Protein backbone atom coordinates (compact mmCIF):
# COMPACT_ATOMS: atom_id res chain seq x y z
CA UNK A 1 0.00 0.00 0.00
CA UNK A 2 1.19 3.52 -0.85
CA UNK A 3 1.51 5.55 2.35
CA UNK A 4 1.98 9.30 2.86
CA UNK A 5 1.58 11.99 5.50
CA UNK A 6 -1.38 14.09 4.32
CA UNK A 7 -1.07 17.89 4.42
CA UNK A 8 -4.58 19.25 3.85
CA UNK A 9 -3.70 22.94 4.04
CA UNK A 10 -6.17 25.69 4.97
CA UNK A 11 -8.47 26.24 2.01
CA UNK A 12 -9.75 22.69 1.50
CA UNK A 13 -10.99 21.83 5.02
CA UNK A 14 -12.27 25.36 5.68
CA UNK A 15 -13.80 26.39 2.34
CA UNK A 16 -13.91 23.38 -0.01
CA UNK A 17 -14.76 20.30 2.09
CA UNK A 18 -16.15 18.46 -0.94
CA UNK A 19 -12.57 18.14 -2.23
CA UNK A 20 -11.45 16.50 1.02
CA UNK A 21 -14.43 14.15 0.97
CA UNK A 22 -13.72 13.17 -2.64
CA UNK A 23 -10.00 12.76 -2.00
CA UNK A 24 -10.57 10.35 0.87
CA UNK A 25 -12.92 8.30 -1.34
CA UNK A 26 -10.27 8.17 -4.05
CA UNK A 27 -7.55 7.21 -1.54
CA UNK A 28 -9.65 4.32 -0.24
CA UNK A 29 -10.49 3.06 -3.73
CA UNK A 30 -6.89 3.15 -4.93
CA UNK A 31 -5.30 1.77 -1.75
CA UNK A 32 -3.49 4.97 -0.84
CA UNK A 33 -3.06 5.34 2.92
CA UNK A 34 -3.01 9.02 3.90
CA UNK A 35 -2.05 9.66 7.52
CA UNK A 36 -3.40 12.97 8.82
CA UNK A 37 -0.78 15.38 10.12
CA UNK A 38 -1.94 16.49 13.56
CA UNK A 39 -1.11 20.02 14.66
CA UNK A 40 -0.02 21.37 11.29
CA UNK A 41 -0.27 25.09 10.50
CA UNK A 42 -0.58 27.15 7.32
CA UNK A 43 2.16 26.11 4.89
CA UNK A 44 2.51 29.32 4.85
CA UNK A 45 0.97 31.11 1.85
CA UNK A 46 3.46 30.97 -1.07
CA UNK A 47 3.30 34.46 -2.62
CA UNK A 48 3.49 37.12 0.09
CA UNK A 49 4.78 35.46 3.27
CA UNK A 50 8.33 34.79 2.11
CA UNK A 51 8.62 38.29 0.64
CA UNK A 52 7.76 39.77 4.03
CA UNK A 53 10.02 37.52 6.13
CA UNK A 54 11.82 34.60 4.51
CA UNK A 55 13.15 33.20 7.78
CA UNK A 56 9.71 33.17 9.40
CA UNK A 57 8.22 31.53 6.30
CA UNK A 58 10.94 28.87 6.20
CA UNK A 59 10.59 28.16 9.91
CA UNK A 60 6.83 27.71 9.54
CA UNK A 61 7.32 25.32 6.62
CA UNK A 62 10.09 23.47 8.44
CA UNK A 63 7.88 22.88 11.46
CA UNK A 64 5.23 21.32 9.20
CA UNK A 65 7.87 19.17 7.53
CA UNK A 66 9.09 17.88 10.90
CA UNK A 67 5.60 16.48 11.54
CA UNK A 68 6.01 14.24 8.49
CA UNK A 69 9.55 13.38 9.60
CA UNK A 70 8.14 12.25 12.97
CA UNK A 71 5.96 9.76 11.10
CA UNK A 72 8.82 8.60 8.89
CA UNK A 73 6.77 9.45 5.80
CA UNK A 74 6.99 11.71 2.78
CA UNK A 75 4.40 14.48 2.62
CA UNK A 76 1.43 14.53 0.22
CA UNK A 77 -0.30 17.81 -0.62
CA UNK A 78 -3.65 18.38 -2.35
CA UNK A 79 -3.01 22.09 -2.90
CA UNK A 80 -0.72 23.69 -5.50
CA UNK A 81 0.23 26.56 -3.20
CA UNK A 82 1.04 24.25 -0.29
CA UNK A 83 3.07 22.12 -2.67
CA UNK A 84 5.20 25.04 -3.86
CA UNK A 85 5.75 26.45 -0.37
CA UNK A 86 6.69 23.16 1.27
CA UNK A 87 8.68 21.70 -1.62
CA UNK A 88 10.67 24.90 -2.11
CA UNK A 89 11.34 25.29 1.61
CA UNK A 90 12.46 21.67 1.72
CA UNK A 91 14.90 22.22 -1.15
CA UNK A 92 16.29 25.41 0.39
CA UNK A 93 16.75 23.91 3.85
CA UNK A 94 18.29 20.69 2.56
CA UNK A 95 20.99 22.55 0.61
CA UNK A 96 21.59 25.79 2.53
CA UNK A 97 23.31 24.99 5.82
CA UNK A 98 23.21 28.59 7.06
CA UNK A 99 19.44 28.95 6.60
CA UNK A 100 18.86 25.47 8.03
CA UNK A 101 20.85 26.39 11.14
CA UNK A 102 18.94 29.65 11.54
CA UNK A 103 15.60 27.88 11.21
CA UNK A 104 16.56 25.13 13.65
CA UNK A 105 17.49 27.76 16.23
CA UNK A 106 13.90 28.97 16.01
CA UNK A 107 12.43 25.45 16.05
CA UNK A 108 14.47 24.60 19.14
CA UNK A 109 12.13 26.81 21.16
CA UNK A 110 9.27 24.50 20.16
CA UNK A 111 11.11 21.25 20.79
CA UNK A 112 11.55 20.49 17.12
CA UNK A 113 14.41 20.06 14.64
CA UNK A 114 14.30 19.96 10.84
CA UNK A 115 16.40 17.05 9.52
CA UNK A 116 15.51 17.04 5.81
CA UNK A 117 14.32 13.43 5.84
CA UNK A 118 10.93 13.91 4.17
CA UNK A 119 10.16 14.72 0.56
CA UNK A 120 7.08 16.62 -0.64
CA UNK A 121 4.88 15.29 -3.45
CA UNK A 122 1.81 16.73 -5.12
CA UNK A 123 -1.23 14.47 -5.40
CA UNK A 124 -0.77 14.58 -9.18
CA UNK A 125 2.67 12.96 -8.83
CA UNK A 126 1.41 10.33 -6.39
CA UNK A 127 -1.50 9.35 -8.62
CA UNK A 128 0.60 9.22 -11.78
CA UNK A 129 3.85 7.74 -10.44
CA UNK A 130 2.83 5.62 -7.43
CA UNK A 131 -0.67 4.49 -8.41
CA UNK A 132 -0.42 4.60 -12.21
CA UNK A 133 -2.83 5.36 -15.02
CA UNK A 134 -3.74 1.71 -15.56
CA UNK A 135 -4.96 1.23 -11.99
CA UNK A 136 -6.90 4.50 -12.14
CA UNK A 137 -8.53 3.41 -15.39
CA UNK A 138 -9.45 0.00 -13.89
CA UNK A 139 -11.57 1.72 -11.24
CA UNK A 140 -13.51 4.00 -13.59
CA UNK A 141 -17.07 2.68 -13.35
CA UNK A 142 -18.91 5.72 -14.74
CA UNK A 143 -17.01 7.53 -17.50
CA UNK A 144 -18.01 11.19 -17.52
CA UNK A 145 -18.69 12.49 -21.02
CA UNK A 146 -18.12 16.18 -20.37
CA UNK A 147 -16.20 18.81 -22.33
CA UNK A 148 -13.75 20.27 -19.79
CA UNK A 149 -11.21 23.09 -19.96
CA UNK A 150 -8.13 22.40 -17.84
CA UNK A 151 -6.68 25.00 -15.53
CA UNK A 152 -3.46 23.68 -14.03
CA UNK A 153 -2.64 26.61 -11.75
CA UNK A 154 0.65 28.52 -11.69
CA UNK A 155 2.24 26.64 -8.79
CA UNK A 156 1.86 23.30 -10.57
CA UNK A 157 4.54 24.45 -13.02
CA UNK A 158 7.13 24.74 -10.23
CA UNK A 159 9.61 21.94 -10.82
CA UNK A 160 12.25 20.70 -8.39
CA UNK A 161 13.20 17.41 -10.07
CA UNK A 162 14.45 18.80 -13.38
CA UNK A 163 13.77 21.47 -15.96
CA UNK A 164 10.49 20.21 -17.48
CA UNK A 165 7.85 22.58 -16.08
CA UNK A 166 5.14 20.70 -17.99
CA UNK A 167 5.82 17.42 -16.15
CA UNK A 168 3.01 17.74 -13.59
CA UNK A 169 0.53 19.56 -15.89
CA UNK A 170 0.93 16.74 -18.43
CA UNK A 171 0.35 14.23 -15.63
CA UNK A 172 -2.85 16.03 -14.68
CA UNK A 173 -4.06 15.94 -18.27
CA UNK A 174 -3.38 12.20 -18.58
CA UNK A 175 -5.12 11.43 -15.28
CA UNK A 176 -8.18 13.46 -16.31
CA UNK A 177 -8.38 11.57 -19.60
CA UNK A 178 -8.86 8.28 -17.74
CA UNK A 179 -12.26 9.50 -16.46
CA UNK A 180 -13.73 9.77 -19.96
CA UNK A 181 -13.87 13.57 -20.22
CA UNK A 182 -13.10 15.37 -23.45
CA UNK A 183 -10.39 17.98 -22.89
CA UNK A 184 -10.99 21.27 -24.69
CA UNK A 185 -7.82 23.15 -25.58
CA UNK A 186 -8.33 26.90 -25.41
CA UNK A 187 -4.83 28.41 -25.66
CA UNK A 188 -4.73 30.25 -22.33
CA UNK A 189 -3.99 27.31 -20.06
CA UNK A 190 -0.89 28.97 -18.60
CA UNK A 191 -2.53 32.33 -17.89
CA UNK A 192 -2.94 32.90 -14.14
CA UNK A 193 -6.55 32.84 -12.92
CA UNK A 194 -5.89 36.05 -11.00
CA UNK A 195 -6.20 34.75 -7.43
CA UNK A 196 -2.90 36.24 -6.16
CA UNK A 197 -3.48 39.66 -7.75
CA UNK A 198 -7.00 39.75 -6.25
CA UNK A 199 -5.36 40.83 -2.99
CA UNK A 200 -3.85 43.91 -4.64
CA UNK A 201 -6.09 44.91 -7.56
CA UNK A 202 -9.56 43.36 -7.80
CA UNK A 203 -10.43 44.90 -11.18
CA UNK A 204 -7.17 43.76 -12.79
CA UNK A 205 -7.61 40.27 -11.36
CA UNK A 206 -11.15 39.90 -12.65
CA UNK A 207 -10.96 41.65 -16.01
CA UNK A 208 -7.42 40.90 -17.15
CA UNK A 209 -6.87 37.41 -15.74
CA UNK A 210 -10.13 35.62 -15.02
CA UNK A 211 -12.31 37.13 -17.76
CA UNK A 212 -10.01 36.21 -20.72
CA UNK A 213 -9.85 32.61 -19.50
CA UNK A 214 -13.59 32.26 -18.98
CA UNK A 215 -14.37 33.87 -22.34
CA UNK A 216 -12.01 31.59 -24.24
CA UNK A 217 -13.15 28.47 -22.40
CA UNK A 218 -16.79 29.18 -23.21
CA UNK A 219 -16.08 30.06 -26.84
CA UNK A 220 -14.32 26.70 -27.29
CA UNK A 221 -17.31 24.77 -25.99
CA UNK A 222 -16.20 23.84 -22.50
CA UNK A 223 -19.04 22.70 -20.22
CA UNK A 224 -16.92 22.82 -17.06
CA UNK A 225 -13.59 24.00 -15.70
CA UNK A 226 -11.34 21.31 -14.25
CA UNK A 227 -8.89 22.44 -11.57
CA UNK A 228 -6.53 20.86 -9.06
CA UNK A 229 -5.77 23.97 -6.98
CA UNK A 230 -8.27 25.04 -4.27
CA UNK A 231 -7.31 28.72 -4.53
CA UNK A 232 -7.96 28.64 -8.27
CA UNK A 233 -11.31 26.95 -7.63
CA UNK A 234 -12.29 29.77 -5.29
CA UNK A 235 -11.22 32.36 -7.86
CA UNK A 236 -13.21 30.76 -10.69
CA UNK A 237 -16.34 30.27 -8.60
CA UNK A 238 -16.52 33.54 -6.68
CA UNK A 239 -14.93 35.50 -9.54
CA UNK A 240 -17.79 34.57 -11.87
CA UNK A 241 -20.22 36.04 -9.34
CA UNK A 242 -18.11 39.18 -8.94
CA UNK A 243 -18.00 39.73 -12.71
CA UNK A 244 -21.79 39.95 -13.02
CA UNK A 245 -22.12 43.56 -11.75
CA UNK A 246 -19.58 44.47 -14.47
CA UNK A 247 -21.91 43.07 -17.16
CA UNK A 248 -20.24 39.68 -17.70
CA UNK A 249 -22.54 36.69 -17.27
CA UNK A 250 -20.83 33.36 -16.61
CA UNK A 251 -22.14 30.34 -14.76
CA UNK A 252 -19.60 27.62 -15.58
CA UNK A 253 -19.25 24.67 -13.19
CA UNK A 254 -15.78 24.39 -11.63
CA UNK A 255 -14.84 20.90 -10.47
CA UNK A 256 -11.68 19.60 -8.82
CA UNK A 257 -9.84 16.62 -10.31
CA UNK A 258 -10.30 14.63 -7.08
CA UNK A 259 -14.07 15.15 -7.30
CA UNK A 260 -14.01 14.09 -10.94
CA UNK A 261 -12.11 10.92 -10.05
CA UNK A 262 -14.45 10.05 -7.18
CA UNK A 263 -17.49 10.48 -9.42
CA UNK A 264 -15.97 8.38 -12.19
CA UNK A 265 -15.20 5.68 -9.61
CA UNK A 266 -18.94 5.53 -8.89
CA UNK A 267 -19.32 7.72 -5.80
CA UNK A 268 -22.87 9.12 -5.61
CA UNK A 269 -22.82 12.91 -6.14
CA UNK A 270 -24.83 13.39 -2.93
CA UNK A 271 -22.07 11.70 -0.90
CA UNK A 272 -19.54 14.28 -2.06
CA UNK A 273 -21.68 17.29 -1.07
CA UNK A 274 -21.18 19.06 -4.38
CA UNK A 275 -23.92 21.47 -3.35
CA UNK A 276 -21.25 23.30 -1.34
CA UNK A 277 -19.77 24.62 -4.58
CA UNK A 278 -20.52 28.21 -5.59
CA UNK A 279 -20.85 27.11 -9.22
CA UNK A 280 -23.44 24.65 -10.65
CA UNK A 281 -21.28 21.51 -10.36
CA UNK A 282 -24.01 19.39 -8.84
CA UNK A 283 -26.51 20.29 -11.56
CA UNK A 284 -24.05 19.41 -14.32
CA UNK A 285 -23.06 16.07 -12.79
CA UNK A 286 -26.67 15.12 -12.05
CA UNK A 287 -27.52 15.84 -15.69
CA UNK A 288 -24.58 13.82 -17.02
CA UNK A 289 -25.27 10.86 -14.72
CA UNK A 290 -29.05 11.08 -15.13
CA UNK A 291 -29.62 11.70 -11.43
CA UNK A 292 -32.94 13.28 -10.43
pTM over 0.75: yes
Helices (H), 178-292: 202-205, 211-219, 230-243, 257-264, 269-272, 281-289
pLDDT, tens digit (0-9, with 9 covering 90-100), for 138-171: 999 999 999 999 999 999 999 988 899 999 999 9
Whether the CA torsion 59, 60, 61, 62 is positive or negative: it is: positive
Task: Give residue 12's pLDDT.
Answer: 96
SS3 161: coil
Task: Give residue 179's pLDDT.
Answer: 98
Task: Give residue 7's pLDDT.
Answer: 98
Residue 291 pLDDT class (50, 70, 90 cuts): confident
Q: What does the pLDDT average to over 44-54?
A: 87
Amino acid sequence: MVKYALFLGCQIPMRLPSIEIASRRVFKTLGLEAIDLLGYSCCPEPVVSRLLDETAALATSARNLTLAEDLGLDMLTLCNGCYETLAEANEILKHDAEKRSRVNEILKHYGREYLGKADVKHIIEVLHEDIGLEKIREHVAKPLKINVALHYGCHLYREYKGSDIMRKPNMMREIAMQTGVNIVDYGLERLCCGYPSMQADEEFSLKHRLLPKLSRMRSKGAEAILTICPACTIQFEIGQVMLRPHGFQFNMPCINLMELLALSFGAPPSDLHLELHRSPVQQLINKVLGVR
